Every structure is written in structure tokens, then in C-alpha cells.
Structure 1
Amino acid sequence: MKICKQIDQYIEFVRSDEAVVCEEQLLLCNFVEKVFTEEDVYVDKEQLERYLGLEKYFPYKLLPWEQFCFALHNCVYKREDGQLRFPYLIILVGRGAGKNGYLAFEDFALVTPVNGVKEYHIDIFATSEDQAKTTFEDIYNILEDNKRFFKNTFKWNLECITNIRTRSKIKYHTRAPDTKDGGRPGKVDFDEYHAYKDYKLIEVATGGLGKKDFPRRTVISTQGDIRDGPLDELLETCLQILKGEIPDNGKLPFICWLDDPEEVKDEEKWQKANPSLRNFPTLLTEMRMEYEEYKLDPVNHTSFMTKRMNRPPGETQYCVTDWKNLEKATRSLPDLRNHSCVAGIDYSKTNDFVAAGLLFKVGDKRYWMHHTWVCKKSRDLPRIKYPLKEAEEEGVLTMVDDVEIDPEYVTDWLLEKSKLYKIESVVMDNFRQTWLREALGKIGFSDEKKNLKLIRPSDEMKVAPVIGYMFARGLIAWGTSKIMRWYTWNSKAVTDKKGNVTYEKIEPRSRKTDGFKAFVAAVTDEERIKQRRIIKNRIGTVC
């Protein structure tokens, strides 16, 4: 069937062999055709052409998918009452697709006389001022670049853009506007809808719609980290509409994402999430770089899946890093005598494993000097497959023939190391800290001296990106013993629904993580490490 050029051409493309699109795009095309087949609606083609004629003032042209959305949202009317058929547009596309550019053109067009409605005010909302200003500033800059042409048709400043002939205003907000200014909008926009945690502002912002003819809403967004919020609920409604399970109630859902997260491995499939990618080669180059970062460290680069592919991982579990990165870290340490460092301790069970270490930082490189104590009475010893005897021979492990590991084993080790290195602080888990606190006080580490730090899971969350970066860039070395490699491989990075990362055990009894947890503890206080001044001369580099 023929509807109009802008709609027909996009539908033809989506169904062609050339297109790489998600299932929701195919469903959308079926949905649109069904509306035009079963309902008495029409496209105001003359109005559409006049709107698109405004493109000449913009430094870009609308892409086919944008023309498709624009035509349906702004120029399709019901013959019965003359109202808009699709007054509510939802656009979910991957970051970089140009959704703000689309919105800038749409808002600019709707405040002109082509719309035919006087004082058709447009309110742009976002949860941050920078985001709320993005579309506004796009329009502002176009007016600034064409001052001589627009001086008789527009007035503008950094807070409000007004079309003189229609008296229609465009403003941006991060909170509810004053009633006198924002109580009678013609259109309301929501930018980055994923950032809204509840409906408070959304309800206030849309409460004034309907007082002007042809009220509209436009939502533009990528996916985000907030789950079960307004975006998730809106998308669930959109999917039901596309599947024909519920009436659309004026909503037009334009959804682009990967059909399956595994498709991220196929670069061609990225177009499913970003319908502009085939037209933006520079964006493709940037995404390739980001993908390589994601592969190296998926724990701390979840935004690639969330923002670029619109497939947030939710609560996921990954290895802390790639095995090759652990192999790189298993290398000799340099001479660090007299260097500043911080100590980290993990002692979750005194009748099992206890680990401690010193973290050094030289430039952007980190070095980890560690030791482990193992209680011979531990019930888990028969389950452990790592060759503990080998670690003992390497001098990084001590077997303790007692019912538990006395705190003095740890403090004696720290005291001995303090003769060679400057230990700035000791960091340990807040859980069961009383076991070590008294012993540490005896060797000079206490709350009173402000060189004893007790950490919580929230501290781990803060340093997870740093740890991921260390491994991905090969910036950490922990000696030639393989026990740290074993500890780290036994750990998993757990990302919660908000994107926060904590480290947990893969299997608590046979796969120990104590050495890695001690290392993480030390990283939380690495800013205390005093960097040695590097002096370059003709002979070489000295500290």
C-alpha cells in the first residue's frame, strides 16, 4: 500500500535484504500499515513538505528513519475529528544516533506558522541541566548562525526561544516550570527518559497538555541503569502495542536495540541498535574503539551494552578480568626499597586463610607484594587444588600449625616490611575488625593516628573501575608466584542493576579469594601512597 514517500520508503527499506534491523522495527512497519488499512486517517502531505522545507536552515538533513518518525508524529490526522493520530512519539535508539538533532528540528518546526497554532509552547525536560539544554542549544546555535535571516521572525536568548509570528516559546527545564510560563504547553519533550526514577515530574510536566490544539509528547532516550522505572514500564507498554496485545492510545514506538546481547560480537548487527550507523562512519570508528575496551573489561564498560546497544546487562557476573591479563600481572617486582605503600588485609576466617599485602604505585604502575597464612586445621584444605606447597617454597605462604591464625603473624610481617618500606596506612574489612585492631595498634596503626581504614562494599564499588583499568592496561604486577593469579581467577565481579560492582567468591570452600580481597582493600586507599619524584638527567632516570 502507498501512504506517502517518507513513510513508504522507510518501510520498504526495513523489509529489504539490505536492512539490518531489530524485530521491533518490522513490527512497527506492520503496525503502521494496519492503522492506515483499518482506520480513516491521512497524511497532510502539503504540511509535511512545508515542514521538511525548513531543513535548509539546519546543518544536517533528517535521515530516512527520522523523516518516517516526523511524518507519522506530526502530519497524520484522523478524518473524523481532525486530531493527530500519533501525538505520542517514543524514540529509543543507541547513543550517537542523532536523537537530539531530530528533536531540535521537530521543535523548531512546530513553533513556526506551518503548525498553524499560536502560542504553541514547547517544554524540554531532563534530569540534568546539561541534558535539558542539549536540544535547546542546538536550535539556539542555528538561530545564532543565521542572525540576519531570523532577526525578524525569532527572538532568542539562553533561556527562551520565541517565534515572533506565532508567539510560541521553547524552554528547557529540570523541574516543574512556573504555572504562568509552563501551564499551557503545546508539546512536552523528555530527553534521556531512562534517568527518571519516578513519575513526579513527568506528571506535572504533562498536566497542562490539552489546553492547546494538537498536544504532543516526544520521548527520546537510550537505555540506562535504572530498572523498573518509567522507561521500563513505557517500553513494556510499547512492546505490547507492537505485538497487538493492547490499543496504542496514540503512542508511536520507535525502538532500536539488539535482538540478542550475543549479537554485539557481530559488528554489522550494531545497526539494529543504531539506525544512523550506516550513515555515520566516524561514529562507527568510535564504537569499534569502545567495543575493544568493552571486551578487555566488560565489568567497567557496561555502558557499551547499555547505551550503544540498548541492552543493559542487569545483574551480571563476570570474571574480574581476562586470563591473559592475569598472566601479564604474574611477573617480577622491581626493587621498591624505601618506597611509600599501603597495606591491605583480608581475614574473613582466622581458622582458614588470611592474606596481607603492600601496594606500591610508581607513575601509573602498581606493584603488589603479598603473603598468605593458612591454618593447617582448615576443613577446606582437602578441597583445594592449588599447590599450596609450591607457594610455601616460593616464600609467599606460611602454614600455621594451630587451631587459628594469631594476629601477630600478620603484624610481625608488617613490622618486618616496615623496615624496608614506608607503610602509610593499613586497610581491612570492617567485618571482624576487632580481631586485628589491638594487634595493629601495638605496631602503630590505629584510628587515633588516622592510619587505619575500615572499608565496606561501597568502597569496593568506587575502585572497581580503577582495578579494571589496571588489568586491561597491564599496569599491575604481583610477583612470579601464581597464587595471586589463582585468588583473582576465583573471584567474580558482580554488577547490580544500578551498575555498581562488588567482588565475591565464585565458590567459597575450594576457590579462595583472600589475596585478591586484600589487594582490593589496599586499592581503596592508594591515594595515600606518596609518589617519588622522578628526575631525568643525561645519565638516565633516578628517583
Structure 2
Amino acid sequence: MSGENACFELVLAYCEAILSGEIKASQKLKWAVKRFLNDLEEIRTNPNSPYYFDEREVEDFFYWAQEFEHVEGVLAGQKVDLVPFQLFIAANIFGFKKKSNNARKFRKVYIQLARKNAKSQFLAIMASYITFLGDEKQRAYIAGWQKEQSDEVYTAVRDGIMSSELLHGRWKESYGQIKIAKNSSVIVPLSRETRKTGDGKNPSVGIVDEYHAHKTSEIYDVLESGMVARKEPLMVVITTAGFDLASPCFVEYQYVSRILDPDDDVENDDYFIVICELDEGDDIKDESNWIKANPIVATYPEGLESLRSGLKVALDVPEKMRGFLTKNMNIWVDMKIDGYMSAKKWRECKIDAFDITGRDVYIGIDLSKKIDLTSAGFIFPYENGYHVQQHSFMPEESLAARKNSDKVPYDLWIKEGWLETTPGAVVDYTFVEKWILDFVEKYNLKPIMLCYDPYEATQFVQSMQNNYGYTIVEIRQGFPTLSEPTKEFREEVYKQRITHLGDKVLSWAVGNAIEDIDANENIKLSKKKSIERIDPIAAVLNAFVQARFVSVVSSSNNVGFISMR
């Protein structure tokens, strides 16, 4: 490559090839290309634009990358020569700058690629470029959920700079981190086990690797909160797709997808995004589509052969398909192994409002252990199906410990009204009883039945029956009682005959639920297999055992006792 603007011209040629269809690309990559070109046009035509584009910086990054060698694969031992796709990313991150202080325009980056598309190598080049060439002391933290993930990128950085003759003697490794002699900058691997290392230590670069594997956003939040004093901080998320649609990564994916979408009103000029994925409706067997998720792997024979092999295994062994779709085709897949229900189907049942005043209601109870989550489910039959709500309870004294152990925002859910604490160290069932009675009175509800899991519920249900006249129904927790209602409830969701208000606690529980299946294909939810809590959906299903018979069951409130077996 020669010529002062050669890299910039290469990027423009790449953009033209994407938009013309010469290079097949995902819709979101096309949007990213259009965004880049629109930003350039704005700079060119508007003298009042707060930004400018530094072509020389893009050249510098390209030549910096050539100081590195490939350390594995078919190109091992050869100098790194950035491909146009990588140069496009670099041009966005490093090319756009602020006129006011020459700092980078973009403070956040989200890159979603299929595996083996040189993600770690690119991060290594980027982290070393900033730390070695920065005028001030830079702190780059590489953060995976597990230490092994952090170490993978860190190792790529170390191996890369070890291969560079130019950098020989200009850095050293000690105590598991790289230290640069020129400016005392550091590159440090960080995981959730050591996340406090980055807290308050003024990181300038935060690299969150494989964000889809992060159970919470705590590492991301720690890094971002420590950057407030930096002139040009850079938070980078780089990941493949995943299958946990309740994860912070999927939430971020939805947000950045809206930023890219030109028809969406969401804007964020500080955020650069590249998402390479198969589009909805694409045939995974059509090899021409693979480049959409694999802008590097799908351009050379060995890469294509690897994808062919992966697809064959996935087609032969269905259990492998989820991994192929997420890791190789970069598609977010709601396909939890033995998962009870599609989270997408559940979300599609959300409505904004439902007037429950004066309605018949079936109440389900899952009292669980007194130190855990206790839930009450409510099903309101109506002409088009069933409206579902829940309310859960947790001991006040265990809130902090449960928030820490379960890694979910119980405190936020309390503020939003889906959950509340009961006084003391265990759930006070009299508190639950009073809440239900107050709820029924507030909305003038007509309780048809109170359906309960018999575990630890004797005193509670006897009080509701003897003191308040509720018809109580024991719901045995075995396959004979639960299989048909559990299947039918899912079918009603898929038919969109179930509605809910987007209750985050209930949606979380639905996503957690794992099936237990017997030899006759009967199913029920398994609290043993479901690692996370499922009490809210269990309570709803207890109510549904009886609510599904609404067309044949009398709505009389006569006191009675029914034992379902």
C-alpha cells in the first residue's frame, strides 16, 4: 500500500462494495456504512460541524498493525495486514475527532462478530496502539466474565507485541500485566473475581470481551464509572451473539440496533456500532450468506471449510444447532436447552394496560422456603384468553445477600412494584396473606379459587379458607397434575391468548424455567434443573391448573376443598 490517503480510499471502496451489493452484508452493517458516509458528508459540507476526520490517524493504525505477526492459524508468522472490514472499524474509532480538543469522537464501541473473525487480534492491536503511543499514562483493562476470557485477549496483546521488533525493550510484563516504559501505561486482564482492581483507578480503555457470557453488567459498570475524568475514554464491547435474552448484552444489542436503524428516533453520537449477523429469513445452508456474520472467515477456503463442518454437525446433532447459530452465524437464539418457553413469544404477549377491576380471579401460591422468594400468581380469564399478573415477596434481611448471589436487580424490581420485602429474616406469611386480601379488596376482585403448592402451606391456606371463606385447591406437584396445564399455558402464550404487563420478575422467571420430562413426554417445571428462581411462574401455573377450566367451572365463591391428583 502506498500513498498518503491509501487507507482512507480503501475504506471508501469497501463502503461502496457493501452498498452496491458486491460484498454481501447484514442490514445492520449496511446501516453502519451509511452512518459513516453520512458523518463524513456532514463534516465536508457543514463548517459548523464539531468534528473532523483525521485520515493520517487511520494510516498510522494500519501501519502499527503491521508491526504484529499472526501467532496461529494459516497465516502464522506473517505480518498482520488489516483487511478492509477491520480498517473500516479503525477508521470510525480513530478517524473521527472533536475540533475542540482533538479527542476521539466515539467514547463507546459495540462490535458483534461470529467467532474466529480475528476479534482478539484486533483488540490487541487497538489496546497496544492507545497505550504505547499515548502522551499520558493509559490504563487499559481487558474484562471477561471468567479469568480465562480476559486472559485470551491479554495473551493476544502480549504475543503480538512480543512479535514486534520495533517494541523490543519498550515494555515488560510483571505481576500479570504489561507495563510500557515510555509513559508508564499498563494493560491489565480483569475478571469478575478481580473487578475491584479497575474500580476508581481511572481506566482509559475498557475492553469487555464476549459480553454475551456476562451474567450481569457489573464489570462494564465498574469500568465505565471509572472513566469520568478521562479526556478520551473508550469503552469497547466485543462479542458474539448468545442465547440468554435476559442478559445485559442482549439489552445492549437491542439498544445499539436502534441507534443504527435510520428509521428509529434513538440517537447517540458517542457510540460506534458494527453488527455482522445473518438477517431474519436468511438460509443458513446458503454459503453466500455466511459472509454477513463472518466478514473475514468467509473470505478464505479454510474458513469456509470450517463453517461447512460446523453446519454439518449442527444438522446431524440438533443439540449443536444453538451453538452454531450463535457462535458461527452470530444470531441471538432463544433456544435454552430444555427451556420451557420462548422468551420472544412471551414478550410478544405484553400489553400496556388491563383493567382488572371487578373481575373473577384465580390465585396461585408458591410459598417456597421462608428465606427464598415467595410468589402469588393471578389469572384473570376474559373473552380473549387470560390476563396474568404476579407479586413476589422476599425477607428484608436477605435482600442484599440474594441480590449478590442471584445477580439480579431485586432493589429495582421493588421500586417498580413487582416485588416487595417482608419484615425480618424469613418471609412472613401473614404479610403475604394481608397483601392478597388488600389487593382483592382494592380492585373489588372475585376470587374463584386459591390454588396452592402444599409445601409449607397448611397454615396459610387454612387461614384463607377458615377466616376469609376462600375456596382452596391443593395442586400436587407431579406430572399427572401439572403436565397438561404446563403444556396448555405455553400453547396459549404462543397463540397470544395470554397477556401480561411486562412484569420483569415474571419475565425473568419464565426465562429461567427448565422442563422436567418423563418417559411418556409429560412435563413440569423443575426447580432442581432451573438454576435461577422460577417461583413466580410456578405460582401462575398453579392458578392455571384450575383457570383453564373457566368455561366449565362455576364462578361461585362457595367454600370448599378440592385435592388435585
**Matches of 2:7 and 2:282 in 1, distance apart?**
36
Q: CA, structure 1 residues 47+17, in 2 after alignment: closer, same or farther (shift >3 Å)?
A: closer
Q: Which residue of structure 1 aligns with residue 213 of structure 2?
A: 195
Unaligned runs of 5+ in 1: 319-429, 434-456, 458-495, 505-512, 519-523, 525-543
TM normalised by structure 1 equals: 0.56
Deviations 1:145-202 (A, max 9, x none): 45x6534311124611122112111001103545688611111000001112222222
Shift of 1:49: 1.9
**Matches of 1:76 and 1:262 in 2, distance apart?**
34
**Matches of 1:51 and 1:196 in 2, distance apart?**
30
**Matches of 1:30 and 1:7 in 2, distance apart?**
13
One of 245, 255, 265 as aligned partner of 1:237: 255
Secondary structure in structure 1 of the residue aligned to 2:208: strand
Shift of 1:89: 1.3
**Matches of 2:336 and 2:196 in 1, distance apart?**
43
Matched, 1:83 2:103: yes
**Matches of 1:13 and 1:195 in 2, distance apart?**
33
Number of residue equivalences: 334
Q: Which residue of structure 2 aligns with residue 276 of structure 1?
A: 296
Shift of 1:301: 3.1
**Matches of 1:84 and 1:220 in 2, distance apart?**
19
Shift of 1:273: 0.9
Q: Which residue of structure 1 aligns with residue 160 of structure 2?
A: 142
Residue type of the partner of 1:42?
Y
One of 73, 81, 92 as aligned partner of 2:93: 73
**Matches of 1:159 and 1:38 in 2, distance apart?**
45
One of 53, 63, 80 as aligned partner of 2:63: 53
Q: Which residue of structure 1 aligns with residue 187 of structure 2?
A: 170
**Matches of 1:182 and 1:498 in 2, distance apart?**
34
**Matches of 1:311 and 1:152 in 2, distance apart?**
43
Q: CA, structure 1 residues 499+76, in 2 after alignment: closer, same or farther (shift >3 Å)?
A: farther
**Matches of 1:234 and 1:273 in 2, distance apart?**
18
**Matches of 1:238 and 1:214 in 2, distance apart?**
20
Secondary structure in structure 2 of the residue aligned to 1:314: coil
Tell whether the 8 Å contact from 1:20 to 1:269 is kept in structure 2 after alignment: yes
Unaligned runs of 5+ in 2: 1-5, 44-48, 70-79, 339-476, 481-485, 487-509, 524-528, 530-565
**Matches of 2:306 and 2:515 in 1, distance apart?**
25
**Matches of 1:30 and 1:125 in 2, distance apart?**
31
Tell whether the 8 Å contact from 1:198 to 1:230 is kept in structure 2 after alignment: yes
Q: CA, structure 1 residues 285+49, in 2 after alignment: closer, same or farther (shift >3 Å)?
A: same
The 5 A counterparts of 1:279-290 are: 279-290=299-310
One of 33, 36, 52 as aligned partner of 2:37: 33
**Matches of 1:178 and 1:198 in 2, distance apart?**
15
Secondary structure in structure 2 of the residue aligned to 1:161: strand
Q: CA, structure 1 residues 498+106, in 2 after alignment: closer, same or farther (shift >3 Å)?
A: farther
Deviates more, 1:5-14 or 1:66-75: 5-14
**Matches of 1:174 and 1:98 in 2, distance apart?**
21
The 5 A counterparts of 1:219-298 are: 219-244=237-262, 245-260=265-280, 262-298=282-318
Q: Which residue of structure 1 aligns with residue 120 of structure 2?
A: 100
Shift of 1:118: 1.3
**Matches of 1:143 and 1:118 in 2, distance apart?**
20
One of 200, 204, 218 as aligned partner of 1:186: 204
Larger Rg: 1
Matched, 1:311 2:331: yes
Deviates more, 1:24-33 or 1:49-58: 49-58
Shift of 1:10: 2.2
Shift of 1:82: 2.9
The 5 A counterparts of 1:121-132 are: 121-132=139-150
**Matches of 2:175 and 2:88 in 1, distance apart?**
31
Residue type of the partner of 1:58?
F
Q: Which residue of structure 1 aligns with residue 409 of structure 2?
A: none
Deviations 1:330-350 (A, max 9, x none): xxxxxxxxxxxxxxxxxxxxx
Tell whether the 8 Å contact from 2:195 to 2:219 is kept in structure 1 after alignment: no
Residue type of the partner of 2:113?
V
Tell whether the 8 Å contact from 1:100 to 1:135 is kept in structure 2 after alignment: yes
One of 19, 22, 26 as aligned partner of 1:22: 26
Tell whether the 8 Å contact from 2:108 to 2:272 is kept in structure 1 after alignment: yes
Tell whether the 8 Å contact from 1:125 to 1:172 is kept in structure 2 after alignment: yes
**Matches of 2:174 and 2:301 in 1, distance apart?**
34
Q: Which residue of structure 1 aligns with residue 355 of structure 2?
A: none
Tell whether the 8 Å contact from 1:302 to 1:312 is kept in structure 2 after alignment: no
TM normalised by structure 2 equals: 0.54
The 5 A counterparts of 1:444-455 are: none
Aligned-residue sequence identity (percent) comes to: 21
Secondary structure in structure 2 of the residue aligned to 1:11: helix
Q: CA, structure 1 residues 136+184, in 2 after alignment: closer, same or farther (shift >3 Å)?
A: same
Q: CA, structure 1 residues 267+79, in 2 after alignment: closer, same or farther (shift >3 Å)?
A: same
**Matches of 1:291 and 1:167 in 2, distance apart?**
47
Deviates more, 1:50-59 or 1:288-297: 50-59
**Matches of 1:315 and 1:178 in 2, distance apart?**
34
**Matches of 1:21 and 1:205 in 2, distance apart?**
32
Shift of 1:3: 10
**Matches of 2:310 and 2:320 in 1, distance apart?**
12
Tell whether the 8 Å contact from 2:241 to 2:332 is kept in structure 1 after alignment: yes
Residue type of the partner of 2:98?
K
